[in-house]
Amino acid sequence: MLDWNHPETWSVLIVEDESDNAEVVSDALKFMGATVRAAANGRVGLEMLQEYAPDLILLDLSMPYMDGWEMHRRLRADPHTRSIVVVALSAHAMMGDKERVLAAGFDGYLSKPVSLLTFVRDLHAAVESAKVPPAAARPSSGLPDGTPPRAVSQEFAPVIRDGVPLPPASPEPTQPAPSRSAPAEPSSSPVESQEVK
C-alpha cells in the first residue's frame, strides 16, 4: 500500500524505453526520497522483479520487445506481482485511451510528458480516479442504461447536453393579446405603456 504522504517510503520500478522520459520521472521520485529502478522494456522489467519488489510500477505502453500491455497481463497473472500498483504512462493521449487502460485492470493512467512540480499529486489523482466506478464518475443522463445518445429524439436534444439534463427553461410570461378595438391594459413595468390603435 502506497503512503501518499511519504513518497520516501516507496520502491518504484519505471519501465520506459525513452531514457529521457525515464530520467525525468526518476528524478522527480528520487527528489522526494523514493527508491527507483528503471527498465528499458517489459521483458527486462519482468526480469528485474526476480530480485526487486516495488510498491509501484510506472509502465510505458509502447515499447519494443515487450510492451506495457503484455507486461501488465503477466503481472496480473502472477500471484507474486498481481497486487503491485501499476500505472500506465502514455504519450499517445488519444480519446478512449484512459478507459481502455482502466478496463484492462491498470491502477491508473498518466499521459506524458509528466510535470516535475505536480508529479506525485498527479499520480495520486490518477490512482484515486481509477477506483471510482465509471457509472459513479459521471452524472446520470436519466436515460435507461445502454440507451445510445443518438436514440434521443431531436426534440429533446436541447435539454440534454453531454449526457446531463439541463434545467427546464423558465416559461415566458404570457399576456393575453390585446384586442384591436380596445387599448391594451397598462403595463406594470416602469416602461411607458403605449396604446394599440
The arithmetic mean of pLDDT across residues 150-167, rounded, is: 42
Give me the domains of the chain, ranges plus CATH numbers.
7-135 (3.40.50.2300)
pLDDT at 169 over 90: no
User: Distance between CA atoms of 16 and 25, rounded to whole angstroms?
Assistant: 10
Length of the chain measured in residues:
197
pTM (predicted TM-score):
0.64
Task: Give the chain's end-to-end CA distance (angstroms, integer).
Answer: 82
Answer yes or no: are the C-beta atoms of 51 and 37 closer than 8 Å: no
**CA-to-CA separations, 136 to 18, 19, 108, 127, 141, in angstroms, rounded:** 36, 38, 17, 16, 12
State how far the alpha carbon of 13 is from the alpha carbons of 53, 69, 123, 165, in Å: 9, 16, 14, 44
pLDDT at 12 over 70: yes
pLDDT digits (tens, 9 = 90+) for 94-131: 677 888 898 999 998 988 888 777 888 888 888 887 77
Mean pLDDT of 147-165: 41
